Chains A and B, each alone.
Chain A
Amino acid sequence: MESVSRDLQPGPFAARILSRRWLSPTAFELTLERPPGFDFQPGQRVRLGIGPNARDYSIAAAPGGPDIVLCIRRVAGGEVSTWLSKAGIGTELCGSGPHGYFTFTPSPRPAIFVATGTGVAPFVSMARAGTKGFTLLHGVKRVEDLFYRNLLAASAQRYIACLSEEAPVGSDVFAGRVTRHLERQVPPGTCDFYLCGRSEMIRDVTWLIDDRFPGSRVYSEIFY
C-alpha cells in the first residue's frame, strides 16, 4: 500500500447517512454516501460538523468503495456521538477531509497494530484495503466490543483480543490490557508500531516500546 498521496487535498463535503448498524450495545457503524471526488488512504479520518461542534472520525471503509464507513462509540453524555447514534437515515452531514497521516507503510520490520475500542477503525480500513501479515492487539473491556473480529483475524498474522474486564474464551484472547500482552507475550525486537485510541494506552505502550523494543518506529493517533 502506498503512503498518503500529495494530491489528496482535504476539502469540505456534504454526505447523507445511508445506514446504521449496531456493533455492540454502545458502538455502531455509520455508513455515509461517498461524495463525488472524495478519495482517501486507509488510516485517514473525516471531521464532521454537528451544530457548533466538530469531531474527528477515522474511516473504517476501504478506499475506492462506494461509501464512507465510520465506527463510532456512543459516549454517555457525549453530544456528537449521541446525536449521530440517533440521526435519521438520509440526514445530510457536513464535514471535511480526508485528514491525517496515520497511514500504513510496509517495511522490513514486523508491523504491530495496537488499538483500544473504536481505535480499531483505521486498522479495519487497512485490512479491507488488503493489508495483511500484521500483529493486531485489540484492547477492549468485554467480548461484545470485539467488533470486526473475523475480518481482522483473517488479515492479521496474529490477532489478539485483550480483555480487561472479562475472563477470556478462545485461543486469540488474552486476559489483561494490551500493555501486559506486549510485555509478556511479544519478544523484544525492532518493529513498526501503530497505536490508536485512548491516550493512556498510547503513553503506556510508547514507554514500553522505549524500554523493550529499542529502534522501533512509533506512529500514533490519539482519539481522546
Chain B
Amino acid sequence: MNSSVRKTAFYEAFNARALRPEEVAERFVPSDAFRRLIRQAHSIVVGPRGSGKTTLLKMLQQPALETWAHPDAEAYRAEVTYTGVFIPTDLSWKTQIESLGAHDFSDQDHQLFEGAAFTVHVLHALATAMIYRVHRGPAAFSHRRADLPWLKEQAIVKEISSIIGVSPALPTLISLKHALGKRLTRLREVAVRERVLQKEGRRERLAMEQVLKMWYLEPTISCIEVFNDAVGEPRARWALLFDELELAPEWIREQLVNATRSVDERILFKLSLSPYDENVVQDSMLAPMQDNDYDAIALWHASREDGYNFCAALWQSLLSARGHSEATAEATLGPSIFDATEVALRTHGAYGPRSSHRRRFRDLAKKDRTFADYLSAKGLDVNSLEEGDENARASEIRKIISIVATRETYRVPDDSKGRQRVRSRKNPKLYVGAKSVFAMVEGNPRWLIAIGSRLLQGSDDEGRIPEAVQSRELMSAAHRFQAMLETVPVPKVGDHTKVSGVADLVGTIGEYFFRAVVLEDFNPDPPGSFIVDSNLHPDVVSILGRALNVGAIVYVPRERESVLVGDLIGKRFRLCYLLAPIYRFPIRLGREVSLSTIIRAMSEEGAHQTTLFK
C-alpha cells in the first residue's frame, strides 16, 4: 500500500469550488491578499491551484461575510461597501456547443452562444446576490441588508424582467433567478436545433433568437440601477467576482480585462486567473492590467518568509480545530535548519560547542576536502565558530549554513571506498521545523490544510509533531506531488527538447541544483534558481507554463517587475520547495543560471543521470 503513490490530482478534495459561501467563511483566515482584494478597486488575483483564489472571491459575498466570526472580521466587513456577485466560470460558455458536435459552427456562431450563456450566468449570479441582500434568514453578523418591501420587490422584478426579457412564474427575485435558469435550457435547445438544421439559413435563424442577443454589461448595469434605486442607495457599488477565468473563452476574458476602461463606476471587477496561459497573447492582455486599472495580487511567495504569517495563522486555526488553541507554530513544529536568521541562531545557541550547526560544520569539514579548504581560506575554525563575534564572520557563517546542512546530510566522505556517491536518506530530518514546513507548502492553503491534517494526526497531547512524523509526512506529500506532476498533460513535444513533461523538466533542474550543492566542489553560493532564456525551444516554455500553474515552479519577480508573469522569457523562477526532499536541495533562493545551461549540462551527463537517482 505504502509504496503505491496514487496518481491523482494533488489534494484536489480541498477545493472551495463546491463550498457554499457560509462554509468558506467558517474556516477563513485572512491574508495580506485578502486585505488588498477587499479594497474598492478592480483587482486580479493570480495564483496556482489551491492557492485560495476561489476562497478569496467567495468571501466577498454577503452570506460569507455574515457568517465569518474571525476576531478581525468586523474591520474587514466595514470595508466591504459593495455587493459581491460571485460568477464561477462555467464550462458551458465554451464547450456547450462543442459537446453537441456542431462542427459546422463558425467562430462567430460560437461567440453568439458563448456570449449568451455567459450573460445568463452573470445575471443569474446578480439575482442571487440580490436575493441574499433581501431575503436571508437571521445571520450571525448582519451585513448590508436591504429593506425591500414586497410591493417594491414586485415592481423591480417586473422592471428587470422586461429589461432582460424573461417571464418569471412569480414577481419575486427568487422566481427571476429561476427564470434565468430556464433561459439556459432554451439556449441549449437552440443549439441542438442548429446542429440538426445545418448551416443553410443559420445566420437568419440566429438573428431572430432573442436569447442570443444580449451582452451582459448593459443589462447588468440596468439591473443594478433598478435595485439601487429601490433600496435607496443610488450610488452603491457592485463587485463582479469572476473565478477561474483561465477556463473562459479567450475573447470573454479579454473583454473583462478591458472592461474597466469604460465601465460604469458602480461596477468593480475582481477576477481570478491561473498564472500562465499559453493561449493568451499575454502581454496584450496584461497591458491594461499593468496600467494600474487592476491591482494585481499574487498568491504565491517568491521568498520563503513572505507566506509565513498567513501559514502560521492558518496552522493556528488547524490547531484550534483540534483543541490546541494555546499552541504556536514554533512550539508544535520546532525550529528549522534553514531558518538562518541571527535571531534564530542565537535563540538556539547555534554556534555553541554542542550546537547542531557546529556539529555539521565539523562533520562536513572532516569528510569534505573542498569544504575544509574553503574554511581555512576564510580563516574560519570549526572549533570556535562561536567566537565569530564580528559581524562579518557571523554573516559569513549564516550565509552557508543551509548549504552546509544539505551537503552534510547527503555527501559521502571523500575517502569512502564504495561506488555510492550519495548518502541515502529515506526521510531526512533536514526539512523539519515550522519555517521549513511553511516554506514547503509555499503558503498554499490547500497544501497546508492537507499536509497539516496528516501531521496533526501524529501529534502528541500538546499538538507537538515529532520530527520523524514531520519528515515522513513531508516526504510522502512530496512524492504525491511528484506523482501528480507526472500526470500533468503537456502538448506533444518533439525530442529535440530533451524534456518530456513537467516532472521530467523539474527533475532535470532539481538534479542540477543537487549536484551544485552536494556533489561538486564546495561552493558558498551555488545556483538555486533559473532564468527562462530565449534559447529555449517553445515547447519547453509551454511545459514551464504548466509547471507554473500547478505550482511546481515559482515565479520570482525582480524589483518593479509585475507579479503577472506574462511572457516567461527573461523571467526568474525557482523550484517549489515541496520538492526539496526529493531532489535534495536546500530551502533557500539560490543564485540564478539560465535554463539552457541547466538542460545542456544535464544532457551531457546523460547516462549518469539515471544511476544517480532511482
Q: Do A and B bind each other?
A: no
B residues with a Cβ closer than 8 A to A are: none
